[in-house]
A and B are shown apart, each in its own frame.
Chain A
Amino acid sequence: MSEHHKTMTFTLIVWRQKGPNDPGKFETYTANNITEHHSFLEMLDCVNEDLIKSGREPIVFDHDCREGICGMCSQVINGMPHGGEKRTTVCQLHMRTFKDGDTIYVEPWRARAFPVIKDLVVDRSALDKVVQAGAYISCHTGGVPDGNAILVPKGAADEAMDAAECIGCGACVAGCPNGAAMLFTGAKVSQYAVIPQGRAEASRRVKSLVTAMQECNFGNCSNHYECQASCPKGIDVKFIARMNREFIKAQFA
């Protein structure tokens, strides 16, 4: 392979933590023979192969689909969730965006609501708890309804789909200086609030989601909009504004 491709070498400074109660520390590794076509995760795979061969414990990280849609990969690379490339997850971040010889810091999501499980893997079940609090429609939907049986304006459908683009990776929380989950929760509230099927329970939903968010120890939003910049799906902070709006309206419902 190296005959056909220019290869690169990187110095990785990676957060290693044996378990939730281990204080953890940074370890330095060298990634050799990396091509510009390697994704960031494939680069870590190469490093792990070397670690395993030399009898050391490989770096533990979350990953699944590796095509940017599942929301499992979760690393803060050089201080930016998913590495800071616009609308890109770690698995879709390619090594061509780095320069040969770069030193790269790799850290887990860090927030009070996301305790580290091991190395780069954090417990994101707090996001599930927010969803369980009511980010759904509570009626039985039955079989597939006739097309246009429920009229949904095109604008509302688009808006709901934009909000539903969230893959629940938690980058918004990781990027937020306050560890807030307002973008995630705002997207969940909005995706239902704008369409008729979800509208009926909008007040109840926004109240329980906001309560759940707080119970999970997420921080408070201070409108930095760092979340939108961190989001690999480009979820807009307008959904936070919509959640605030829905929450205020719900007080009078």
Chain B
Amino acid sequence: MLEIANITKTFHPGTPNEVRALRDVSLRLEAGSFLIIIGTNGSGKSTLLNAVAGTFLVDEGQIGLAGHSITRWSEHQRAKLIGRVFQNPFSGTAPNMSIAENLALAARRGQPRGLGWGLTRKLRQELQARIRTLNMGLESRIDNPIGTLSGGQRQALTLLMASWLKPELLLLDEHTAALDPKSADQVIRLTHEIIQRDRLTTLMVTHSMQQAVNLGNRIVMMHRGRVLHDLQGPERARVRPEDLLKRFDEVRRREQLDPAVADMLQKNYV
């Protein structure tokens, strides 16, 4: 279970570039639930994911995961509990190392690494079997450097790596945004399978309304560092991509109003 309580993050405080990326965000995610976060650019959805992953420490608030308070944990400590797939297919794998070596690294996520042999024969067979389930024909190429693979193949492998040891929380940060539509479909199907099979608690950021509606059991819409809508239960079940788009339009209309109002206020009072 993930519990985010009143977290706040401001980047570059006190400078002209000050960005209040997260403003008093609270979320409670039951074990096994699959939450999709949508929002406009700069709404703070990726920042929220990074706050949970520990890319930075939050200014205020608490984050709890699986019974631990992880608010002050560093990124690599949190990796014991969290599996991650990044937006950029290059981020999740080491390009000059082989497929097998990459997976062997993931097979020890969050565990101490000593002088034991890295890629044992047993592990090789195990990962070959798991790679075969991807149906990408990669099982015969496990000694090739991962940098020679396509973005879709790399994302599929990263997904496999993130879920190799069942994580308490899976973080997916627009992990299909950089892929062509066909690869994106393939990766989404795989995402669905893995999450279903292992009943993973998942937090996924996406730009695709279609993905938001088809996957997961809860949708959160963020705007300007706040949670704007939280759709669950029957409301979530009824929602269609058009409804989500309509809510985005509402937000946009309000945005357009803002500068005009500001202008008027300035004229009247300054």
Does chain A bind chain B? no
Q: Give B contacts to A, CB under 8 Å.
A: none
